[in-house]
Structure 1
Amino acid sequence: MDNGTATAYLDRIGATAPAAPDAAGLAVLQERHLRSVPFENLSIHLGEPIVLAEDALVEKVVGRRRGGFCYELNGAFGALLRHLGYDVSLLAARVHGGGALGPPYDHLALRVDLPEGPWITDVGFGRFAARPFRLDVRDDQPDPAGTVRVVDAGHGDVDALLAGEPQYRLDLRPRELDEFVATCWYHRTSPDSPFTQAVTCSLPTPTGRVTVTDRTLITTEDGRRNEREISTGDELLACYRDLFGIVLDRVPVLSGPRPEVRRPAQAAVASPGD
């Protein structure tokens, strides 16, 4: 990433470069990213390729002003953090849901090593921690989204919990971006993937969250949830444009069957309750 691209990325999320790569600056960058770049799986339902290469991911977020899911969002954010001087590693995680764990490389999270210790920063898991949290701390860590806790899970892995509920299990060995290609392909093609089972676009707001799932608009303000059906394709495109800053020339078409029970993985963070 060059300086011009980094400046455009920071403009995209409404942030400035920290004076030094520290924890306070990392927290601001994560919060601004979460508020600016939607968690969305529209590419899957538009038939667009998902290319796990840093330049392509940054171009999607910055040049095309789109969002993405974990591999895309954390892949791009990791590139920005490295350019800003942070020591970043990619970690693979398995998502908890339905009493079971997802496959290896189910999720991509970022480890950032700072002088005081390692942190996890994550802008690609939908409704999750709003700020980075310490990887080496086993006490409760307060967060605007709820209490975060890291628990040893055996074999060197750890579970990340939010409000007492396990979210994902992290393998602490550093990975390369191309190691996530196979599971990314599974998530964008398999009828068993939560990402093929609903069209989702979601952003936190200062008072809650706004989500479009298929043709349902869900808004949460101060804990009060409202939903309404979007009646036309033109109205749906207007919602993507006005609520998320995403300009499309056609409506995403659901690419997979709707299951009776959806695994509460990343795509489900934008389902009822947001």
Structure 2
Amino acid sequence: MIFTQEQIDIYLSKIKYKHKIELNGKTLEQLQISHLKNIPYENLDILNGVPIYLTPEALFKKLILSSRGGYCFELNGLYSNLLKSLGFDVTNLAGRFIDDDTSIQMRRHRILKVKTNDGIYICDVGVRSESPRIALKQVHGLIQNDGVSEYKFEEDDFYGHILWQKERGKSWKKVYGFTDEPQQDIDYIMPSFFCEKHPDSPFVNIRKISIFTDSVNINLVGDTLKFYENAKVTKRVDLQDENEIRETLDKYFGIRLNN
């Protein structure tokens, strides 16, 4: 779907983007951090039994007009349509998170590859934890810094490409792997449905919400609010009741529930 100019303006206003739009990496960097700071990651609809719809119309209504958030299939799905509407050449990809070297996860992450006037970039506004705050140029071995952590891509016989992260004072670790095979919107319906309904899904039993500032990842998991900065939790607050949770959703994540 290509958004109308009115929809583009509403979207850019929502993420408080005020820079010039040019088809280059600098614009992608500015768009990504603006997105991460203003549209939260969250799974509240899943917990409340509200069906997840991945159509561009449904995503625009939920995330932009209704001031909600979503998880990667929603966030990167919506963002993909914004980038296409701005004139970028976008390819949707599928990836696997890598928690360790002993198991291989299913493909349940949506990632965007974007061609610009100055290179090819990987864009991602759909990771809950500390992750790239800017678009990363897809060049193997190139170490890139988003102001908080360092990142690099490496080739892999199985995964295709692996994104590595090095937080301050820590060792390099694998984040996720992905291949270059283009995905269509319909390819995300099955993995999204797994995340939404399967008992083994990490989204069906506990609240998972996140948003970024320039240097902090604020996340609410269950009833615990954490502020993650400089590669460590700097503040932790255990919320006591539903009213405190609702106030926190509004204050830090801009989420106001109707019920």
Same-fold status (TM-score > 0.5):
yes
- Provide closer, same or farther for how the CA distance between residues 230 and 19 of structure 1 changes in structure 2, counting only shifts above 3 A: closer
Runs of 4+ in 1 over 6 A off after TM superposition: none
Contact 1:10–1:17 (CA under 8 A) maintained in structure 2: no
Equivalent residue for 2:250? Answer: 241
Provide, for residues 19-76 of structure 1, a one-character-per-residue CA deviation record: whole Å limited to 9, x for no partner. Answer: 4211111110001000111111111111111111112112211111111110000000
Aligned partner of residue 249 in structure 1, secondary structure: coil
SS of residue matched to 2:219: strand
SS of 2:122's partner is strand
Structure 1 residues 195, 228: closer, same or farther in 2, change over 3 A?
Answer: same
In the TM superposition, what is the alpha-carbon distance from 1:116 to its structure 2 partner?
Answer: 2.7
* Counterpart contact for 1:209–1:221, Cα < 8 Å: yes
Secondary structure of the structure 2 residue equivalent to 1:194: coil
Give 2:147's aligned residue.
144
SS in 2 for 1:34: helix
* 1:31-70 correspondence runs (5 A): 31-70=33-72
Per-residue deviation, residues 120-163 of structure 1 (Å, max 9, x unmatched): 01000122111111113322222223111111012681111111
2:204 equivalent to 1:196: yes
Matched with 1:93 is: 95
- 2:116 is matched with which residue? 114
| Contact 1:12-1:62 at 8 Å conserved across structures | yes
Cα distance between partner residues in 2 of 1:156 and 1:39: 25
Whole-Å Cα distance in 1 between the matches of residues 209 and 21 of structure 2?
33
Structure 2 letter corresponding to 1:118: I
Percent of paired sites with the same residue: 26
Deviates more, 1:149-158 or 1:214-223: 214-223
Q: TM-score, length-normalised on structure 1?
A: 0.86
Distance 2:240 2:197 in 1: 27
After alignment, is 157-166 or 207-216 more displaced? 207-216
Structure 2 residue matching 1:195: 3-state secondary structure: coil
Distance apart, 1:17 and its partner CA: 6.1
Secondary structure of the residue aligned to 1:151 is: strand
Structure 2 vs 1, CA of residues 49 and 224 (structure 1 numbering), >3 Å: closer, same or farther?
closer
Give the 3-state SS of the residue equivalent to 1:109 in structure 2: strand
- Aligned match of 2:163 in 151, 160, 163? 160
The structural deviation recorded for 1:207 is 4.0
Taking the aligned partners of 1:155 and 1:2, their CA distance within structure 2 comes to: 40
Unmatched tracts of structure 2, length 5 or more: 167-171
Alignment-derived partner of residue 270 in structure 1: none
**Where in structure 2 are the equivalents of 1:201-216 lying within 5 Å?**
201-216=209-224
Q: Distance in 2 between matches of 1:134 and 1:195?
A: 30
Whether contact under 8 Å (1:129, 1:144) holds in the other structure is no
> In the alignment, does 2:235 pair up with 1:226?
yes
Q: Does 1:217 align with 2:225?
A: yes
Residue 173 of structure 1 aligns to a residue whose secondary structure is coil
User: Aligned partners of 2:115 and 2:255: how far apart in 1?
Assistant: 33
Match of 1:103 among 84, 103, 106: 106
TM-score normalized with structure 2 length: 0.91
The runs of 5 or more residues in structure 1 that have no matched partner are 251-274
Q: State the alpha-carbon separation in 1 of the partners of residues 99 and 159 from structure 2.
A: 21
Task: Tell whether 2:172 aligns with 1:169.
Answer: no
Distance in 2, matches of 1:102 and 1:221, equals 28
Shift of 1:98: 3.9
Q: 1:116 to 1:155 in 2, by over 3 A?
A: farther
Tell me how large the CA RMSD over aligned residues is: 1.7
Alpha carbons 2:23, 2:117 under 8 Å: kept:
no
